[in-house]
Amino acid sequence: MKGSFFKGSQLIPKFEIREMIMPELGEHDVLIKNMACGVCGTDIHIYHGEKGSADVSPPVVLGHEFSGIVEKTGDQVTTLQAGDHVTLDPNRYCGLCCPCRIGKKQNCENLFALGVNANGGFAEYAVVPEAQCFRLNDEIDFDVAAMAEPLACVIHGIDQAEIRPGQTVVVIGGGAIGLLMVQMAKLSGASTVILSEPILIRRQIGVSVGADFTIDPVQENIQEKMIEYTGKQDADVVIECVGKPIAVEQALQFAGFGATVLLFSVPSVDATMVLPLFDIFSKELKIIGSRINPDTHQRAVNLINSGKLEIKKLITHTFGLEQLDEAIHKQMGSDSIKVIVHPQE
C-alpha cells in the first residue's frame, strides 16, 4: 500500500510517496481503506514546522480527518464488519493524567493523535483501533464523512459558547470551520447569525448555508452594519475562527454586554494581543477557548447521517494522494474553503 510521508518542514520536498508494509491487525484493530481525508489547519501548522495538537516525529503519514471502508477486522472486534462505512476520531487519551481524571481529557498530557504523531489518512490504508471508528450511513458521501472530525470539534466549541435561543451570534471567518459554526449556531436556536468575512465567495456560501447577514470587515464599518441588521451594534455570542490577533480584536468589538467570546481557531504559539481590560470588566465579557473534540464525534456522525447540515457546499477542491503538497497549498489560498485528498487516486 502507498502512503504520503511527511519528512519534515525543513526538507524539500516535504512529502514522499512510499510503499508501506501492511501492519498486522491486533485483536481490536480494524483495517480501513481510506477514501477521503481533509486538509486541516493543523496540517498547515505542521507543514510550516509549527506545533500541532500533539508532537510530530517525521517521517509520518499525516491526515486526521478521514473516512473509509472497513476491509478487515481483528478477532475481537464486535461493532464493525467488512464493508461498513466509517469515519475516524483521531484522538486518543491516556486516562491517567490529571486533566483526564478531572473530565478535561481534551487537555490530556499524553494526547495521541492518528495522522499527527501516528500514521493517518494520507495513505491508501490505515490500521486503527475499533474504538476510534464510527459507522456512517452507507449513502453518505465519503468527502462529507471526512468532515466529521472538524464538525465534532465545532460541536465542542458550540457547547462552550452556550448559545441560547433568540441570541444574536457573529461568526468571524468564513472558512470551513466558520461555515460549520454558522450552521450549528442556527441549529442551537440563534435568532440571527452574522458572518464576518472579507472574501466574497465565502460570504456568498455563508448565506447559502444559513447566515442571515454578512459583513466585509475590511470594506464596511462593523458597528454600522450591525445596527442596520439587528438594531444594535453588538452581539450576544461571538465566535472567532481565523487565528489572527486582528480577528480577536474584531471579536471583542462585536461583543455586547454579558457576551461570550469563543476563541476557537488555532493561533501561532507566540501570537499575542493587547486586551481592552476595561471593556472586559465593564461588559462582563466571558472569553473562552475550545480544544479538539472530547466525546462529540458520535454527535457529529449523527448530524451528518441526519442530513441537517450543508457540508458538500464547503468542499471546493479535491486532489489525489501524490498531489498532497499542492493540496496543502490550495488549502492556504483564499479561493478554497475545504480541500479533500482522495488516497485511492
CATH number of the CATH domain containing 212: 3.40.50.720
Q: Is residue 295 part of a domain?
A: no
In this structure, are 7 and 128 located in the same domain? yes
* Residues 7-64 pLDDT 10s: 999 999 999 999 999 888 999 999 999 999 999 999 999 999 987 656 798 999 999 9
Shared domain for 30 and 122, answered yes or no, is: yes
Same domain, 159 and 269: yes
The span from the first CA to the last CA of the chain, in angstroms, equals 12
Whose CA is closest to 42, among 321, 249, 299, 268?
268
User: Which among 119, 116, 130 is positioned nearest to 27, based on CA atoms?
Assistant: 130
State the total domains in the chain: 2
What is the distance between the alpha carbons of residues 137 and 39, in angstroms, rounded to a whole number? 23
Structural domain of residue 182, as residue ranges?
154-289
CB count within 10 Å of CB 242 equals: 22
Q: Give CA–CA dist 205/222, Å, rounded.
A: 20
In a domain, 316, yes or no: yes
Residue type, 183: Q
Cα–Cα separations (whole angstroms), residue 31 to 50, 76, 125, 148, 277: 30, 13, 7, 19, 52
Residues 26 and 91 in one domain: yes
194 domain residue, yes or no: yes
In a domain, 297, yes or no: no
Q: Is the pTM of this model over 0.85?
A: yes
Angle at 157 between CA 312 and CA 248, to 5 degrees: 100
Read off the CATH number of the domain in which 33 is found: 3.90.180.10
325 found inside a domain: yes
pLDDT tens, residue by residue, 237-275: 999 999 999 999 999 999 999 999 999 998 888 899 999
Amino acid identity of residue 170, one-letter, is: V
Q: How far apart are CA 284 and CA 336, in angstroms?
A: 37
